[in-house]
Structure 1
Amino acid sequence: MSMLVVFLLLWGVTWGPVTEAAIFYETQPSLWAESESLLKPSANVTLTCQARLETPDFQLFKNGVAQEPVHLDSPAIKHQFLLTGDTQGRYRCRSGLSTGWTQLSKLLELTGPKSLPAPWLSMTPVSWVSPGLNTTAVCRGGLRGVTFLLRREGDHEFLEVPEAQEDVEATFPVHQPGNYSCSYRTDGEGALSEPSATVTIEELAAPPPPVLMHRGESSQVLHPGNKVTLTCVAPLSGVDFQLRRGEKELLVPRSSTSPDRVFFHLNAVALGDGGHYPCRYRLHDNQNAWSGDSAPVELILSDETLPAP
């Protein structure tokens, strides 16, 4: 998971559930190559490492080996590294944080003048299509100013995107299942790059179920008055969660430290609270299509008294 800077905000009222909401800021930098001639992308290459927050510190990695860190006189949002000599290799970069360094950028590979390196294809927010879910294919190359193309296995035509002058990636809406790959080219009639690895998109009638956990265990013997926290984890971020006991929705306090999960707090369980608890989720913009239920967590309560003889 990408490194995230998290700020927690607390709101609520004393008579109702209290919710902690987390705001997440992505800190992973971006890395791309710029060349004086896109027709000869290996000539006079400059690598640009762009941070998410201004920083005076940048560092480049080549083939897994850290290069000398750069410390600027004043904070900047990006820094350029001029490559000399043999520029072929696999590159990443990182930028400074107040607590150290960010995680590394995504991989950028330079292959030399004879071929263009393959781009990377990913799906967001998930690698499936279902009613109410907007799935997007993201094709990321290493050069600015190229034209991206997406292809589904079995189709004869590419879905083409105009020249991406200000970015090194392009997005495509995906509405059908299948096996997808993407490529790019440096001019309108130029040769295509190597294709990306294939990504398979499935079609699902409903989002797959989340996972519900209680301290990593599926069942637990509890005593009246115990506090219980159930964690519901979805396979995507930005969803609405629901906890139930049987068919009854439970409006209990909740909190979150990550956009793909929520913590349900049962602050003082009673003997009547035993039973099976499933959770589920739905997309923010689809108020009808719930996911399947998670495997339930069973809460077993005991007051340690023995039945009368």
Structure 2
Amino acid sequence: MASALTFLFLSCWLAGHSGVWGEPSYPKPNISLSPSRGVSLGGAVSVWCRGQRQGVRFVVNKERRHFPSVDSDDNEAVFPISNVSREDGGSYSCSYHSRSEPHAVSYPSDPVELVLRDPSLPRPSISLSLTGVTTPGADVTIRCQGQRRDVRFFLHKPGDLNPQQHMDPAGDGAKFLIPTVGQQHRGSYSCSYRPRSEPFVSSEPSDPVQLVVADPSLPRPSISLSPTGVTGPGADVTIRCQGQHRDVTFFLHKAGDLNPQRQMDPAGDGAEFHIPTVGRQHGGSYSCSYRNQSYPFISSQPSDPVQLVVAEPTLPKPVISPSGEVSLGGYVSIRCRGQGLGVRIVLNKGGRHVAHVDTEKSVFEFPINNVRREQSGNYSCSHHSRSEPFVTWSDSVELLVRG
């Protein structure tokens, strides 16, 4: 029954345009819009129709609207629309027929939608559930957030002609799930929405987000800090990323920051990121990755992280004890008393990290059995919250080994 209705509709459509009933004799043309990404209200757009015959007459059709036909000596014709209004939005198709033989007609083209952007509609926002570099096989959710209800959201990716869509009859947002991410999903995404009452009127697209997928075959870079250890406020720090490929872009990631720093490396295989005048806002966990300039959405796996720990003079100082002498081969216990619970207590000797412990206690003892000569020296302890990389130091005590 559906096939019969389709044939009847096609026959009526052809009769209305050729004046003759009959089977189409020409292949269907192609239809396109210029610009192809839509047009804002008040702008201009052109409908292009391209056939496979020369010296024909082209006709463009929109629901309940007919455009003047265009005679073309070439195999294409253009139908300009200036000062676009809401009434111009909709689905368009075109056909062509012989000028000398009106019954020689083409099939109608596939339809193309003219969607009009309304600048008065607030732009939506877009976010990824996984920020930074995504591991293949992970599940990613792209969330679009608007300010209007009863709308349909559309997810756009360059090169995809048919955007995904998601109806949101109740809330003001939509979630697009990408299960088991692969290299085919990498790229730049944006979203827009259309009121259900105006299906051919759209908001402006959101700012884009980049879905970058890691390639496990790329060697992971290494990362290092200079200087190492705890950094005092106001110091200059250099973070160096080292890879094994040239002509790449390095990216420095800090946990919690959505926008990594980047640095092009057209000659060498490494990059240096300079942090002058370090403050507590710079403390945190850093890693780096790189991407080939020819494939900007394919990344190496991130490096192992390094911790930039910033000394914080305003935190209460811990207390260390005892000082004095101990016999060679004897036993001593160095006690560090912190000023809070749930901290990391670190024992340092001569500015070097000796041992550490994560504890819920405010006091911890570091035992030294069978004391050796090289264990004499100046000891201090430091403590910091496990959730914040800011540290403060105790005064130092001196341990002397007799014998």
Q: What's the TM-score, normalizing by structure 2?
A: 0.30
Q: Which has the higher helix share?
A: 2
Q: Which has the larger radius of gyration?
A: 2
Higher relative contact order (CA 8 A, sep 6+): 1
Q: What's the TM-score, normalizing by structure 1?
A: 0.37
